[in-house]
Structure 1
Amino acid sequence: MTLPLRAVIFDLDDTLFDDTGCTHAGLRALAAQSGLSVPPAELFARHAAHIRAIDPLLFRGELTAHGARVLRFTRLLTELGVPDPDGEAATVTYREAYRAAWAPLPGAAEVLHELRAAGLRLAVLTNYVREVQALKLAHFGLDALVDAVLCVEEVPAAKPDPRAYHAACAALAVTPAEAVMVGDSREKDVQGARRAGLRAVWVNRGSQAAPEPGVPVIAHLKELPGVLSLVPTG
C-alpha cells in the first residue's frame, strides 16, 4: 500500500537555484579576462571536469571552498595554455560574475510556499558544502521556506548513497516511503532516491536522456504540485 506523501526533498543547484546560468556567466568573465577563445560548451565541460576532480579534497576538509576555486582555476587556465595563471585573480573574476548572476529558478519560492501551505514538510539535500549553499538559500529567503537543509558534510555519505536520503527523511521525521526527492540529476536525485525507498520527480529542462520508468518528469517547478499526487512508489 502506498503511504501518503508527507515530505518533499529538493536538490539545490539547477533545481531551485540556477547554477548553470551563473557558471556560464563566471566563465564568460574569466575567458574575457584571460583572452580565451574556447567555445562556451567546451569551457563549461572542462570546468566541470576540474570540479569533479577537486571536490573530494574539499569534502574531506583538505581545502576550503575558496582554496578549491583557486586550485580549480589554476588547473583550468594551465590546461588551456595560459602562462603562469593567477588562480587568485581568476577566482575573484569568476566569483564576482557568478554572484552577480545569482538567480533562483522560476517558481522556486512560489512552489515552496504552496507545498508548505499544503502541509508538506520540506528539505534541501545538496552534495555541496554549507559555506556556499547556505548563502544561496539565505540570499533569496528560501532557507525560511524549508524545515531542514542538509549539506554534504552533514550526511553520512553524499547522494546517491541511500544514507543521504535517509538522513533527510530523519530530519523531517518521515519514512522514505512518505517522501519524494525532486532534482535535476537522474543518478543522484532519481535513481539513488528510488533505491533508498523514496519516490522521485525528475526536473529535466531539455536533456535528451531517456525517461526513467515510473518517474514523472517536469520541465518547470510550477508543474510540481500537479504531479505530486501521481508519483508512484519506487
Structure 2
Amino acid sequence: METTATLSALATGFGAGLSLIVAIGAQNAFVLRQGLRREHLAPIVAVCVASDALLIAAGVAGVGALIQAAPLALVIVRWAGAAFLLAYAFFAARRALKPSGLSAAATSSRSTLAATVGTAVALTWLNPHVYLDTVVLLGSLAADHGEQGRWPFAWGAIAGSTLWFSLLGFGARYLAPVFARPGAWRVLDGAIALLMLALAAFLVMP
C-alpha cells in the first residue's frame, strides 16, 4: 500500500510539474533559441533544471508560506523582472530586423558562457510567477500527499522539469533545416520580442 501511494505521488508530481513548466514563457523561449543555436546548451539546461529543483524542494520544505507572507519581495522581483524582459525584448527585436541563417547566428554573434548563463538565471529567478508555480502551488499540492508522499511528489515534479528542458533544448536541433533561412530567425526573434513585451506588461499590471 505504501509503495502504491509513493508511486501515485511520484506520477502526480511528474504530471503537475510538466503542466506548469510546458506553458510558453520567457525561459522556454530562451532555451529553444539556445537549442537552435547549439550555444552553451548543456549549461543552460542544467541551470533551468537545477533552479526548478531548488524551487520545488523549497516549496515542499515549506518556504511557500514565507513567500506568501512577504508580498513586498514579490513586488520587487516583479518590477526587476519586467525591466529585464523589456531589455531582452529590445535585443530580440533588433535581431529580427537583421536576421541571419542558422550557421551565421551560431558563429558571428556567439555569446560568452557567463553572459548566456546569466541570462538564463535572470529569466528564471526574476520571474515572480516561477515562485508562485513551483514554490507555492507545487508546494501546496505536495502537502496534500502527506509527510510520506510529499517528497516523492517533489521528485516527480523535478523529473518532469528535467525531461521538458532536455527535450526542448537538445531536441531543437531537429528544427535546424527550417532555421537555416534568415526569414525563420526573423519570425522567431520577432515572436520572442512580442512575448517578452507581453510578459513584461503582464508582470506590472495590477
If each structure's strand is expressed as a fraction of its own residues, which one has the higher value? Answer: 1
If each structure's helix is expressed as a fraction of its own residues, which one has the higher value? Answer: 2
Q: Same fold (TM over 0.5)?
A: no
